[in-house]
Structure 1
Amino acid sequence: MPFFPFRRPRPNAGEPSDAAPQSAAPRRWGRWALAVLIVAGLHWSAVRWFERNRQPENPPPETPPVQIELLTPKPVAPAPAPKPAPVPKPVAPAPKPAPAAPPAAPILSAATPQPDAPAAASGVAASAPAAASGLAQPAAPAPASASQSAQAAQAPASGDTFNVPPSGELRYDTLVNGMMNQTGTIHWTHDGPHYEMVVSIPLPFVGPYVYSSKGHIDGFGIAPEQYSEQRGRRAADVAIFNRETKQIVYTKTPQAQPLADGAQDRFSVVMQLSSLVRGAPDRYKPGVTRQFSVADNDSSEIWSIETVGDETVQTRGGFTNARHFTRLPRKEGDRRKLDIWLAPSIGWLPVRILQTEPNGMQLELLWAGKLAAPAAADQGSDAGTPDASEESAPDARDAAKP
């Protein structure tokens, strides 16, 4: 048998071939990788489309302007009551003409006294025609000091003008890191001397975040007595504002801190700011900064909230003009931010609240209307702006939908 050195021996029929599996394996892995890339691309496109169609396009908070005025807590004065419409004075009826005197001699003798009549008789006769005419004599003008004292009694005391928002159940769309979440609510009630505020924010997988504040109204505005935070299923952390000992005590820590005049908690400060702006909206111009003493669940600190300016906020009901406020950094490297937008069309209530946590998580509340009409008429909105009750009608119908 001749020898062929370059001839490859043929495999036997019963032996398996290794060439086919080696060439098919790369093709199979390539098809799987291509399928994974296609599915990932489709999911990414769907997420982007969902974000564009569900998330309102609100611009990021602007850089605060340069501070031009610093406002510190001081006693507040109630907003002046609207002046009642002047009541028209009743028109006096025309005097009836005196009856015609009969042609008798006594009338002539009464107008012309006799020489032997005393001088007093002539004086009485002279005043008789004036009395008979029926015309009242004008009253003497009141002294100027009395009118000035009445105006001084109606003038409000010196301090910030303060107008508490009316009671109502407020509804907000909640967004977590820009993704639409369930609907949150702010329960706000006040009966004059007392108030209560409960903020409920639903979060997936961890349960709702519930913040509660209750207290009274004093000479510095809203005065919390108890503030609690409950995050998910954890026990609530409570801060007690002891007005007798002038201290704030906490259940989370044994330390106590002094209670300053006008002190607030993390959420009552929103209604305190709203009440101040409702009382004097023209005072809060860009650059104006107001300081608040704010207590958390374990400490108290000074917040400097600065007016950024008027902006447009997009909610489910459309575009709304609002005034933007931002909390300035409390210390160097402070990464927690808070931005508040108050809208005059809904009585200077918050139309948007954006909180940025130190880890970058953003929690946002966007106005979605009222669940119930306020108990009192809204006197805080500007003249010519629509009433909040007009916007609440379609939103109440939306709330009934599943």
Structure 2
Amino acid sequence: MLGRHARLLALCGLSLLLHLIVIAWLETRISAPLPLIGNPALAVRLTDVTPVAPAPAAPAAALPSPMPALPAPAPVQASVEAAPAPARPAPPQPAGGVAAAEMPSRYRVTVPPSATLRYALRSADGSDGEALLDWQTDGVNYRLALDGITGAIESEGGTDDAGIAPLRARYRLGAGSAAIAFERERGAIVLESLGRSVQDTPGSQDGASVLMQLAGIGLADPDQLQDMVDIYVGRLDGAAVERFQVLGKETVETPLGAMETLHLARAGAARLEVWLAPEQGWLPVQLRATAPDGSVRTQVVKEIRRAPAP
């Protein structure tokens, strides 16, 4: 009986040993790395990623309503008040305490050739007389003598880019006279009888040369004589822009016959009217002055003498 049991124990022990050997052999086969054929080794790093739980859905009642459409911008009103423009600075005053003055437009000017005009003078009281305009120039310098309804004035000077450029004008006053001087480099007109100066500007004239400047404007370009012509004029008591209104074409009867003219008028307390004749080189063939008291004096050309052509 004991022998039988011994044999069973031996068989069980042998069977257990065989199982242990098989298990050990399998473990060595499983743990051995598999051979790689033709591929490089791959390194793999595992990262512990914690999944983020999705936010819970908001209740249906808490969901925002769709955004409403934005309203169109309101149109800019045309009545919006603009910012005021900056004030224009006053023109600089030249040296010597010269007062500033308004500057007129610039015109193209052709200097009229020398000519002497004699006029028949008629006054409101019926008295007759004569008037004279004597213009002498070499194209650069000039001398002018005017004696008529606008007074007795002698003017001399030259020319520049703005046309006739007086340097000195002498006004006869009864038995005496008074003068003004144009100091163009200083930009001043010196009123010698008053002992002071006023501002000068290119294109400025005296009481006589203004008539020849008007003629020169017409000679250069008649289209400039439209609507009005502004000329800065120096006189014994000061200087100012004198505006000549263009009144239109007019036929003037003269001792030399009918002449087609352009009628201009300077308004003011002492009104002056001028008739320029294009066919006579735009010379002033008639002048009329109306005094503040309403009296009228007129001078009409009766003779025109021109210097012989060189």
TM-score bin (small chain): 0.5 to 0.7
Q: CA deviation at 1:247?
A: 1.1
Cα deviations by residue, 1:334-368 (Å, 9 ceiling, x for unpaired): x2101100012211100111111212232322111
Tell me the residue number matched to 1:360.
294
Matching residue of 1:167: 114
Pick from 164, 179, 193: which aligns with 2:126? 179
Q: Which residue of 2 aligns with 1:298?
A: 237
Contact 1:163–1:276 (Cα < 8 Å) also in 2: yes
Q: Quote the Cα distance in structure 2 between the aligned partners of 1:226 and 1:188.
A: 15
Deviation per CA, 1:350-392: give whole Å up to 9, x if none. 011111121223232211112x332448xxxxxxxxxxxxxxx
For residues 72 and 251 of structure 1, what CA distance do their matches in structure 2 show? 24
Once the two structures are superposed, residues 57-115 of structure 1 have per-residue CA deviations (whole angstroms, 9 ceiling, x without a partner) of xxxxxxxxxxxxxx9432xxxxxxxxxxxxxxxxxxxxxxxxxxxxxxxxxxxxxxxxx
> Secondary structure in 2 aligned to 1:257?
strand
Contact persistence 1:173–1:180 (CA under 8 A): no
How far, CA to CA, are the matches of 1:360 and 1:241 in structure 2? Answer: 33
Contact 2:104 2:241 in 1 (8 A): no
Give 1:220 deviation, angstroms.
0.6
Question: Is residue 2:208 matched to residue 1:275?
Answer: no
Is residue 2:270 matched to residue 1:328? no
Gaps of at least 5 residues in structure 2 are 1-102
State which of 253, 258, 261 in structure 1 corresponds to 2:199.
258
Moved over 4 A (4+): none
- In 2, Cα distance between the equivalents of 1:253 and 1:274? 31
Percent sequence identity over aligned pairs: 28
**Matched-pair contact (CA < 8 Å) for 2:181–2:191:** yes
Say which SS state the counterpart of residue 311 (structure 1) adopts: strand
Structural mapping, 1:152-301, within 5 Å = 160-177=107-124, 179-201=126-148, 209-233=151-175, 235-285=176-226, 288-301=227-240
Give the structure with the larger helix fraction: 1
User: Which letter maps to 1:259?
Assistant: D
Q: C-alpha distance in 2, partners of 1:328/1:273?
A: 16
- What is the root-mean-square deviation of aligned Cα atoms in Å? 2.2
Counterpart contact for 1:167–1:376, Cα < 8 Å: no
- Aligned to 1:360, the other structure's residue is in SS state coil
Letter in 1 for 2:249: D
Please state how far the C-alpha of 1:281 moved relative to its aligned partner. Answer: 1.4
Give the direction of change, closer, same or farther, for the CA distance of 1:273–1:362 in structure 2 (3 Å limit).
Answer: same
Q: What SS does the aligned partner of 2:108 have?
A: strand
Structure (1 or 2) with the greater strand fraction: 2
In structure 1, how many angstroms separate the alpha carbons of the residues matched to 2:297 and 2:242?
19
Structure 1 or 2, whichever has the larger Rg, is 2
